[in-house]
Structure 1
Amino acid sequence: MAQRFREAFTRMAKQVNQAAAGGGGAGGSGGGGGGRAAAAAARSVTALAAAGGLAYGTYNSLYTVPGGHRAVVFNRLVGMKGQIYGEGLNFNIPWFERPIVYDIRTRPVNLQTLTGSKDLQMVTIAVRVLHKPDPSQLVWIYRFLGTNYDERVLPSIMNESAKAIVARYNANELLTKRDLVSREISLDLRKRAGYFNILLEDVAITHLSFSPEYARAVEAKQVAQQEAERAKYIVLGAQQEKKTIITKARGEAESAELIGLAVKKNPGFMKLRRIDAARDIADIVAKSGNKVYLNADSLLLNLLGNADDKFERSVGGKWR
């Protein structure tokens, strides 16, 4: 094609040069030379028009489908052709046919909507969908939806599906069962998109938030539960402390009773206790840096002489 185009322009240039030379050399011949020049000019114009038409036809009869794309062709006589053209160089009839190229690669679309849960709490949910057209149904998609099929279909079905699924769950279940909610939205969206020959590869919940009033109520509930748990542990601690005091009192009572029985049976028991007390007091006084001016009897340190006899007589007299 390019070679023919160059040859046509070469012939046209030669004819123009010949016409100009003939007109200049035959100036004396009059009308005969002018007729030949006009004929040569007409042939040049015809050759130029043919070359232009050939170039136009060559340029418009070829089109390229990029990688990751497919093409469908609209024919002015029969309408949409049923064939789908793949990647690479393809041919069509200029003016009679027009190619429409579709991108069949996966693309994302995001939707954020405000809806209500089962317990009438307002929820803001954002859904992200990876989609692409069905490559085998591009003719149907162009005939009924056009090239902007995703803008016509996806927002409406995503909005309806998200609201329908969220309305089945309470507000707290939307958080604890998020994977189940996402799976149900995905199944419902795939079913709805299948009616329009749109393929969904992934559906995910990217954002989920509640109204400020509900968030404050949840926070207050959590604080109240923590306070209740804290109060419960305080009550348990008080009960344990009560048991400890009772046990300690019982132990002291039993200890006093046993001491009384021991003194009653053997008054020498008090002498042993007195010796133990004197030893403890002596250790404290010995380690103290202060001077002691108290009486040894007052400090229970007088263990010699008749101190023990006085003590035994006093104890014996009381128990008798």
Structure 2
Amino acid sequence: MDKLKFDVPKLPGWSLYNVEGGQRAAVFNRIVGVKEKVYPEGTHFLIPWFERPTIYDVRARPYIVEGTSGSHDLQTVNIALCILTRPVADQLPTIYRSLGENFNERVLPSIVHETLKAVVTQYNASQLITQRETVSQEIRSLLIKRAASFNIALDDVSITSLTFGREFTAAIEAKQIAAQEAGRAKFVVEKAEQEKKSAIIRAQGEAASAELIGKATAENPSFIKLRRIEASKDVAQTISNSANRVYLNSDDLLLNLQGMNLSTSSLIEKMNCEGSQLFLIWGIFR
């Protein structure tokens, strides 16, 4: 059994390396340089001392870039962009040769500032606000083309901040205040016109009512008597609801019933039918 034994060569721990999920590796060889092969996820072998792996994260990551540019009407514009960026996995050896590991910091600031100046100068400050979506799409289109030449993929580009200088901001606020005041003044004018129309309609209604009352009075004198009785009911109701109880002559109660030839019993009965609590003594002081 001893003759069947043999020694197994032991590999040092640093001759193996792992590529985690969402990562890729580019390997530098001291003899051939950077290998063209891109190593996927998993555990891989390397030749100690001769090879050195560089691991890249190929998942999209947010990158924020802020820039200042001038608009078409010479206003200072401060823009912040949020960019979802990732390296093109198949081109990692090229990225390693030309840009190294910090490719975002080397490339994105320069191409973003160049793109912002090219796009923002085509619009006025007010257009940057009203046409923000169009501006964002144009910036995104240009950035994707510029980044592709560096083997960098941009999944999304969005404007997160858009500010202007103090003078322009103050002018916008003053314009908004003036617009609000103009709208308030317009509302007041419209309200006055509506009130005027309402007064005219009300006056026309009162005139028509007076005309109808005059016509009814001329055709039927009993209409006046009916109005006098209704007015006397209101007066009697008001007096009966008072906390004081007063016994007065019917002519002194201001019931406006003089000359109507109403009997006392009929008057009291009519008042009681209306729920009045007034006690009348007809002719007590006659």
Please say whether Structure 1 and Structure 2 have the same fold, judged by a TM-score greater than 0.5: yes
Report the Cα distance in structure 2 between the residues aligned to 1:61 and 1:230, rounded to whole angstroms.
Answer: 77
Q: Which amino acid aligns with 1:75?
A: R
Amino acid of the residue matched to residue 73 of structure 1?
Answer: F
Q: How does 1:123-272 map to 2 (within 5 A)?
A: 123-272=77-226
CA deviation map 1:95-152 (0-9, x unaligned): xx44351413233322111223344333222112222222322332233223332222
Shift of 1:195: 0.6
- Partner of 2:198: helix, strand, or coil? helix
The root-mean-square deviation of aligned C-alpha atoms, in Å, is 3.4
Tell me which of 115, 133, 153 is aligned to 2:69. Answer: 115
CA distance in 1, matches of 2:17, 2:90: 19
* CA distance 1:164–1:270, change in 2 (3 Å): same
The alignment partner of 1:206 has SS state of strand
Aligned residues: 250
Query: 1-side partners of 2:201 and 2:9: how far apart?
Result: 117
C-alpha distance in 2 between matches for 1:206 and 1:81: 40
Query: 1:283-298 counterparts in 2 under 5 A?
Result: 283-290=237-244, 291=246, 296=251
* From 275, 281, 284, the counterpart of 2:235: 281
Given that 1:126 and 1:206 are in contact with CA atoms closer than 8 Å, whether structure 2 keeps it comes out as yes
Q: Identity of paired residues, percent? A: 44
Is the 8 Å Cα contact of residues 161 and 189 (structure 1) preserved in structure 2? yes
- More helix as a share of residues: 1
Q: Does 1:62 align with 2:22?
A: no
Residues in 1 aligned to 2:223 and 2:13: alpha-carbon distance in whole angstroms: 127
Could you say which residue in structure 2 is the equivalent of 1:101?
Answer: 54
Counterpart check, 1:301 vs 2:265: no
Task: Please report how far the alpha carbon of residue 71 of structure 1 lies from its aligned counterpart in structure 2 after TM superposition.
Answer: 1.8
Compare 260-269 and 97-106 and name the one that shifted more: 260-269
Distance 1:90 1:251 in 2: 102
Report the residue type matching 2:169 in the other structure.
A
- Aligned partners of 1:71 and 1:86 also within 8 Å: no
The residue identity in structure 2 corresponding to 1:238 is: A
Opposite residue 232 of structure 2, the aligned amino acid is A
Query: Structure 2: which amino acid aligns with 1:127?
Result: L
- With normalisation by structure 1, the TM-score equals 0.64
List gaps (5 residues or longer) in structure 2.
1-6, 263-286
Helix, strand or coil at the partner of 1:120? coil
Higher RCO by CA contacts (8 Å cutoff, separation 6 or greater): 2
Distance 1:292 1:114 in 2: 93
Q: Is the 8 A contact 1:65 1:101 kept in 2?
A: no
Alpha carbons of 1:151 and 1:270: their partners in 2 closer, same or farther (altered >3 Å)?
closer
State how far apart, in whole Å, the 2-side matches of 1:92 and 1:157 are.
Answer: 39
Structure 2 counterpart of 1:282, one-letter code:
A
Question: How far, CA to CA, are the matches of 1:294 and 1:233 in structure 2?
Answer: 57
Larger Rg: 1
- Output the CA distance in 2 between the equivalents of 1:247 and 1:189: 66
**Shift in CA distance, 191/255, structure 1 to aligned 2, threshold 3 Å:** same
Q: Are the counterparts in 1 of residues 81 and 161 from structure 2 also a CA contact under 8 Å?
A: yes
Do the aligned partners of 2:26 and 2:93 also contact (CA within 8 Å) in 1? no
Query: Please, which runs of 5 or more residues in structure 1 have no aligned partner?
Result: 7-57, 307-320
